[in-house]
Amino acid sequence: MLTILNQTGQQQKLNKYKEYGSKNVLKPMDSEQLREYGHRMVDFIADYYKTIETFPVRSQPGYLHNLLPDSAPDHPETLEQVLDDVKVKILPGVTHWQSPSFFAYYPSNSSVAGFLGEMLSTGLNVIGFSWVASPAATELEIIVLDWLAKLLNLPEQFLSKGKGGGVIQGSASEAILVVMIAARDKVLRTAGKNALGKLVVYSSDQTHSALQKACQIAGIHPENWRVLKADTSTNYALRPELLQEAVSRDLEAGLIPFFLCGNVGTTSSTAVDPLAALGKIAKVDTSFSNEMWFHVDAAYAGNACICPEYRQYIDGVETADSFNMNAYKGLLTNFDCSLLWVKDQYAVTEAFSANPEYLKNKASEANLVVDYKDWQIALSRRFRSLKLWMVLRLYGAETLKSYIRNHIKLAKVFEQLVSQDPNFEVITPRIFSLVCFRIVPIDNDEKKCNSRNLELLEAVNSSGKLFISHTALSGKMVLRFSIGAPLTEQKHVKEAWKVIQEEASYLLGK
Amino acid sequence: MLTILNQTGQQQKLNKYKEYGSKNVLKPMDSEQLREYGHRMVDFIADYYKTIETFPVRSQPGYLHNLLPDSAPDHPETLEQVLDDVKVKILPGVTHWQSPSFFAYYPSNSSVAGFLGEMLSTGLNVIGFSWVASPAATELEIIVLDWLAKLLNLPEQFLSKGKGGGVIQGSASEAILVVMIAARDKVLRTAGKNALGKLVVYSSDQTHSALQKACQIAGIHPENWRVLKADTSTNYALRPELLQEAVSRDLEAGLIPFFLCGNVGTTSSTAVDPLAALGKIAKVDTSFSNEMWFHVDAAYAGNACICPEYRQYIDGVETADSFNMNAYKGLLTNFDCSLLWVKDQYAVTEAFSANPEYLKNKASEANLVVDYKDWQIALSRRFRSLKLWMVLRLYGAETLKSYIRNHIKLAKVFEQLVSQDPNFEVITPRIFSLVCFRIVPIDNDEKKCNSRNLELLEAVNSSGKLFISHTALSGKMVLRFSIGAPLTEQKHVKEAWKVIQEEASYLLGK
């Protein structure tokens, strides 16, 4: 009897192995394998979210090259082997941006709808460089960018029906580079290409480093980057007088002011520049009868501006030539998804279009369609509008507004907790869902205070219980508590504050 | 009895509605909703692949804005509604790059492993700009790029252990822009920034339009773009003598040769430039004791070079400064995934680094780690190495080689079919899996022949049965039959040829 059982067991094992063996030959593409493996991956990822709070938020140092072989395998491994390695070797090295206790930088939203949209886009895997390469990819992008423009109540000129329109870029850095090149080439068509050394860029010193990178790539001479000082007197917003002075000086010196970057929600402290006043200066004719290109970087705070009560922060956007916000920073759309609107699409396409024979087609040549390849740096592009469209439909605008308001409400809670503790102070008034704070200096010793705050940063992050980041404001080291992960609730904010307080007590007691 | 049954039915319906109603409130993120909805999306995408052959490969013209509302919904819609719209409104506007009968452009591979990798990356949704922002994202990328470099048998200097290393860019356009800016700034540091107008770029006229776009963005003066003519005498490869003459002329004129782009597998016809001979010219000291930066664009054909029998086509790559191939064009990795290797990472990071306070961290400042933000245009970046890693592990290198060989074998089949038909001719010898062909001219009437081939192109693509593209070679309109979709089998190639023959017969009979 035992023998029989054993034989049967053996046979079953063999059958299973056989079945497994044949099933296990993964074809390049096969709908049933995609189904089977896809379901397993969905479960793996759902389990990740289920247990996400058990991971240290910031991971531990470099180790991976000791754990992985130094060349690719010649023959297939199984999904089990790979997923085991993900668990054991990859996840410990992941900083968990989706953890409810991730409060660093600005958020990278991942949502159910965004995830589904990204899956669908990956499944279709089209490359929509030209309209003809996948018309729905281009058309849906136009439509969804119009939807968002309306939610933001952007001026009509940014909508697709006239000369304007929106486009999805990978990130705010690409957006800013694209419009800077468009602006540069527009000026140089009049001023001559040897005038490059005369072009001047303006922004506050709170502007994201993406502007500096764009200047480097565009070849703007470093001595022509006007980085105007902003300070506490305006809560780090750019003062229009400073801009006016700089522009006047440059005009007198025979230089060409050509690009102004205004900020709505700076990276350090969510400062908001006075757009209307800045735009007025940008739009005065210079000697080259060339107005400056006015770009508004609202990468983070632009998300909040879909709520009527926050819309005021982009008042004056009607004077801008371009406007940018990152939907992945607050609108539940998985990274990457950076929305750029321009008033004059032809300024962009004139700078970026290239039409080799192998891309020519009837629709493009008849000028009947938009070819987004001419609105960006790269030729090829993914079908990114799908995820934004699915987010908008599966949640609806009102849900998105509540989502943003909730984060701002949580930030208020944190702000209050900080204010109530005499060891701490809030630096700059909180506007959106970022709180800038620090341990207060003792005996006015700012230097020691700075190092103490950096020590606190390290201590808090090393705990693995939360992850925050820092910045510098007027020479002060400041801690940034940025709320925006989809899973964050009030309890996470309160727990985080408790850890910060405990680590601070320990530091201050030393 | 009937009443009771009805009541029970009603009650069940109500219960179901209630349950559905509450379940249907989609949270921003929730592991169980992600699981449930994720499974449904996997099934939707698997069903798409199951029925992919029923769709016309090239879609029909612009219509979407008539089908979708002109603003976003305020309140949530259901996944059913959205998926119904995908079926009815989106899919008809999709050009099906994953169809086995997609033979246009170059392929965009989608595989089970690539899909899973992209899912995982979307699930984790980290932004790995700096090492600290998610160490595993940076480290896995370094490792996997080394794996690929070894498969390609790239010279040691491209590996990460020394000054070199690899990085994933979105596309070949970004890769070429990144190295051009690095090369430009390296020269200008010596020659002075006002020397920009003297910088000269060299390539054959078969080079991808990405080079032109990079020149535009980098501000290289158009009169300094040396577009050297290639013709049938070399099967559209760049002749080293032509390059040598141009460089000598420019040096005599006091210009600065600074960038050479060599091609392995051009977009029009897979021409292969003689890298070793070109590199020798690029590496002779010019008057500025500045060697040219030699970039090799192997976006498409680089994939085949993992097979030992095709490795010869990148012989001479040891003279190059940078090398690029797109894994999504042949290595079963979903778009986007463009691999760039450089010998001198510092040339790149010097041009692209920006280190604002809010990104500073101990590991970066101690120079212990790679921060990929300084290797690319944007700051933010997705965890793209996951999909490449999963592809390499779940298929293994040998499977990838067989996969590529199979497409080349199929291209040989197609090439033979064309050769056997007296109405057609193969233009330029086939090397990889692209066949360039056309209807032969009648009475040497090239003009009529050109328009006839364009008519054939339109007729074939309008049929919806396959999708091919075209190019121009020495003034001849040429049809491109590019094999590389994961689902393509010999029967699809033969069916496609039948359609082409039928449409041609009809055209020739008119």
Write down the mean pLDDT value for chain A.
93
Taking residues A200-225, report their average pLDDT. Answer: 98
State the DSSP H helix or E strand holding residue B418, giving kind and residue range, or none if neither.
Answer: helix B397-419
pLDDT at A250: 96
In whole angstroms, what is the distance from residue B303 CA to residue A290 CA?
A: 48
State the DSSP H helix or E strand holding residue A425, giving kind and residue range, or none if neither.
Answer: strand A424-426
pLDDT at A288: 52
Give the rounded percent of residues in chain A with a pLDDT score beyond 90. 90
C-alpha closest to that of A398 among A137, A37, A151: A151
B17 pLDDT higher than 80? no
pLDDT at B8: 47
B361 pLDDT higher than 50? yes
B87 pLDDT higher than 70? yes
**Per residue in A41-69, pLDDT tens?**
999 999 999 999 999 999 875 689 899 99
User: ipTM score of the complex?
Assistant: 0.94
Residues A93 and A232 in one domain: no
A16 pLDDT higher than 80? no
> Token pair for residue A208?
């994201």
Judged by CB atoms within 8 Å, which residues 15-54 of B form the interface with A? 26-35, 37-39, 41-50
**Per residue in B484-499, pLDDT tens?**
999 999 999 999 999 9
In whole angstroms, what is the distance from residue A297 CA to residue A303 CA?
A: 12
pLDDT bracket for residue B9 (50, 70, 90): very low
In a domain, B73, yes or no: no
Mutate which: B127, B130, B215, B329, vs A, most A CBs within 10 A: B127
In a domain, B297, yes or no: yes
Identify the domain boundary among B350, B376, B395: B395
**Per residue in B130-182, pLDDT tens?**
999 999 999 999 999 999 999 999 999 999 999 999 999 999 999 999 999 99
Cβ of A402: how many Cβ atoms within 10 Å? 14
pLDDT bracket for residue A1 (50, 70, 90): very low
Asked if the peptide bond before residue B336 counts as cis, ω within 30 degrees of 0, the response is yes
Domain of B381 in residue numbering reads as 128-395
Judged by CB atoms within 8 Å, which residues 77-106 of A form the interface with B? 77-79, 81-82, 86, 89-98, 105
C-alpha closest to that of B391 among B168, B174, B173, B95: B168
CA dihedral sign, ordered A300, A304, A306, A308: negative
A136 pLDDT higher than 80? yes
A191/chain B closest Cα distance in angstroms: 14
Is the separation of the CB atoms in A26 and B113 below 8 Å? yes
Residue B308 in contact with partner chain A when CB distance is under 8 A: no
Residue A380 in contact with partner chain B when CB distance is under 8 A: yes
pLDDT at B367: 85
B425/chain A closest Cα distance in angstroms: 19
A368 vs B62: CB contact, 8 Å cut-off? yes
Chain B residues with CB under 8 Å of A360 CB are: 470
A18 pLDDT higher than 80? no
Residues A435 and A492 in one domain: yes
Give the rounded percent of residues in chain B with a pLDDT score beyond 90. 90
In whole angstroms, what is the distance from residue A315 CA to residue A302 CA?
A: 11
Select the residue of A61, A76, A471 nearest B394 (Cβ to Cβ): A76
* B395 CA to centre of own chain: 20
A363 vs B61: CB contact, 8 Å cut-off? yes
pLDDT at B510: 79
- Check residue B469 and report its DSSP letter: E
pLDDT at A287: 52
pLDDT bracket for residue B287 (50, 70, 90): low
Identify the domain boundary among A341, A370, A395: A395
Chain A residues with CB under 8 Å of B147 CB are: 70-72
Asked which of A79-93, A351-365, B215-229, B466-480 is least confident by mean pLDDT, the reply is: A351-365
B71 pLDDT higher than 70? yes
Identify the domain boundary among B395, B424, B439: B395
pLDDT bracket for residue A460 (50, 70, 90): very high
Select the residue of B208, B360, B393 nearest A73 (Cβ to Cβ): B393
In a domain, A14, yes or no: no
Select the residue of B209, B397, B399 nearest A356 (Cβ to Cβ): B209
Residue A472 in contact with partner chain B when CB distance is under 8 A: yes
Q: Nearest chain B Cα to A401, which residue?
A: B74
**Per residue in A368-400, pLDDT tens?**
899 999 999 999 999 999 999 999 999 999 999
A273/chain B closest Cα distance in angstroms: 19
Buried b (16+ CB within 10 A) or exposed e, A200-229: bbbbbebbbbbbbbbbbbbbbbeebbbebe
- Check residue A60 and report its DSSP letter: P
Chain B residues with CB under 8 Å of A58 CB are: 132
Residues B139 and B51 in one domain: no
Sequence-distant (6+) residues with CB within 8 A of B478 are B268, B269, B427, B436, B437, B438, B453, B470, B471, B472
Separation in Å, CA B178 to CA A165, A474, B168: 27, 34, 12
Chain A residues with CB under 8 Å of B124 CB are: 48, 94, 96-98
In whole angstroms, what is the distance from residue A380 CA to residue B176 CA?
A: 13
In a domain, B324, yes or no: yes
In whole angstroms, what is the distance from residue A147 CA to residue A327 CA?
A: 13
What is the separation, in whole angstroms, between the first and last Cα of chain A? 73
pLDDT bracket for residue A328 (50, 70, 90): very high
Select the residue of B94, B210, B219 nearest A136 (Cβ to Cβ): B94
Residues B100 and B132 in one domain: no
Residues B389 and B413 in one domain: no
B213 vs A394: CB contact, 8 Å cut-off? no
A72 vs B113: CB contact, 8 Å cut-off? no
Radius of gyration over every alpha carbon of chain B, rounded to an integer in angstroms: 26
> Token pair for residue B256?
């600065």
In a domain, A16, yes or no: no
Select the residue of B90, B115, B124 nearest A38 (Cβ to Cβ): B115
A20 pLDDT higher than 70? no
Is the separation of the CB atoms in B60 and B92 below 8 Å? yes
> How many residues does this entry show for chain A?
510
pLDDT at A15: 43
B380 vs A173: CB contact, 8 Å cut-off? yes
Q: Is B255 in a helix, a strand, or coil?
A: coil
pLDDT bracket for residue A493 (50, 70, 90): very high
Residues B263 and B373 in one domain: yes
pLDDT at B286: 57
Taking residues B261-283, report their average pLDDT. Answer: 97
Q: Nearest chain A Cα to B172, which residue?
A: A378
B8/chain A closest Cα distance in angstroms: 32
pLDDT at B21: 44
Q: Nearest chain B Cα to A109, which residue?
A: B125
Asked if the peptide bond before residue B47 counts as cis, ω within 30 degrees of 0, the response is no
In whole angstroms, what is the distance from residue B46 CA to residue A40 CA?
A: 13
pLDDT at B482: 98
Label residue B236 left, alpha or beta by phi (over 0 means left) and psi (-120 to 50 means alpha): left
Mutate which: A27, A44, A124, vs B, most B CBs within 10 A: A124
Judged by CB atoms within 8 Å, which residues 316-355 of A form the interface with B? 332, 334-336, 351-352, 354-355
Q: Nearest chain A Cα to B43, which residue?
A: A35
Select the residue of A65, A114, A193 nearest B139 (Cβ to Cβ): A65
Residue B254: is it exposed, middle or buried by C-beta count within 10 angstroms (0-12/13-18/19+)? exposed
Is the separation of the CB atoms in B355 and A35 below 8 Å? no
Here the CATH number for the domain that contains residue A458 is: 3.90.1150.170
Residues A102 and A131 in one domain: no
A108 vs B125: CB contact, 8 Å cut-off? yes
For residue B305, how many C-alpha atoms fall within 13 Å in the half-sphere facing its CB? 28
In a domain, B337, yes or no: yes
A134/chain B closest Cα distance in angstroms: 5
pLDDT at A237: 98
Select the residue of A148, A221, A487 nearest B193 (Cβ to Cβ): A221
Residues A440 and A311 in one domain: no
Here the CATH number for the domain that contains residue A291 is: 3.40.640.10
- How many cross-chain Cβ pairs, A to B, lie less than 8 Å apart? 483
Chain B residues with CB under 8 Å of A23 CB are: none
Residues A307 and A443 in one domain: no
A378 vs B173: CB contact, 8 Å cut-off? yes
Asked which of A22-31, A434-443, B393-402 is least confident by mean pLDDT, the reply is: A22-31
Number of domains within chain B: 2
pLDDT bracket for residue B14 (50, 70, 90): very low
Phi, psi of A320 (to 5 degrees): -85, 155
Residues B168 and B101 in one domain: no
The amino acid at residue B171 is S
A72 vs B147: CB contact, 8 Å cut-off? yes
pLDDT bracket for residue B59 (50, 70, 90): confident
Q: Is B201 in a helix, a strand, or coil?
A: strand
B35 vs A48: CB contact, 8 Å cut-off? no
B419 pLDDT higher than 50? yes
Taking residues B351-367, report their average pLDDT. Answer: 90
> Token pair for residue A400?
């998105």
Separation in Å, CA B45 to CA A30, A354, B181: 11, 34, 40
Chain A residues with CB under 8 Å of B393 CB are: 72-73, 76-77, 81-82
In a domain, A37, yes or no: no
A82 vs B44: CB contact, 8 Å cut-off? no
In a domain, A34, yes or no: no
pLDDT at B209: 97
pLDDT bracket for residue A24 (50, 70, 90): low
In whole angstroms, what is the distance from residue A404 CA to residue A416 CA?
A: 19
Cβ of A348: how many Cβ atoms within 10 Å? 24
Residues B350 and B464 in one domain: no
Judged by CB atoms within 8 Å, which residues 274-303 of A form the interface with B? none
pLDDT bracket for residue A17 (50, 70, 90): very low
pLDDT at B65: 87
pLDDT at B63: 80
Residue A60 in contact with partner chain B when CB distance is under 8 A: yes
A355/chain B closest Cα distance in angstroms: 7
B357/chain A closest Cα distance in angstroms: 5
Select the residue of B334, B357, B363 nearest A472 (Cβ to Cβ): B357
Q: Nearest chain B Cα to A90, which residue?
A: B136
Q: DSSP letters of A284-337? A: S--TTS-PPEEEEE-TTGGGGGGSGGGGGGGTTGGG-SEEEEEGGGTSS--S--
B6 pLDDT higher than 60? no
Here the CATH number for the domain that contains residue B462 is: 3.90.1150.10
Instruction: Break chain A down into helix, strand, coil percent, rounded to 5.
Output: 55, 15, 35
Biggest distance spanned by C-alpha atoms of chain A: 103
pLDDT bracket for residue A417 (50, 70, 90): very high
Token pair 């020590």 in the structure block, residue: A455
Residues B179 and B278 in one domain: yes
Q: Nearest chain A Cα to B173, which residue?
A: A378
A394 vs B43: CB contact, 8 Å cut-off? no
> Token pair for residue B243?
């390059």
- Check residue A26 and report its DSSP letter: -
**Per residue in B401-412, pLDDT tens?**
999 999 999 999
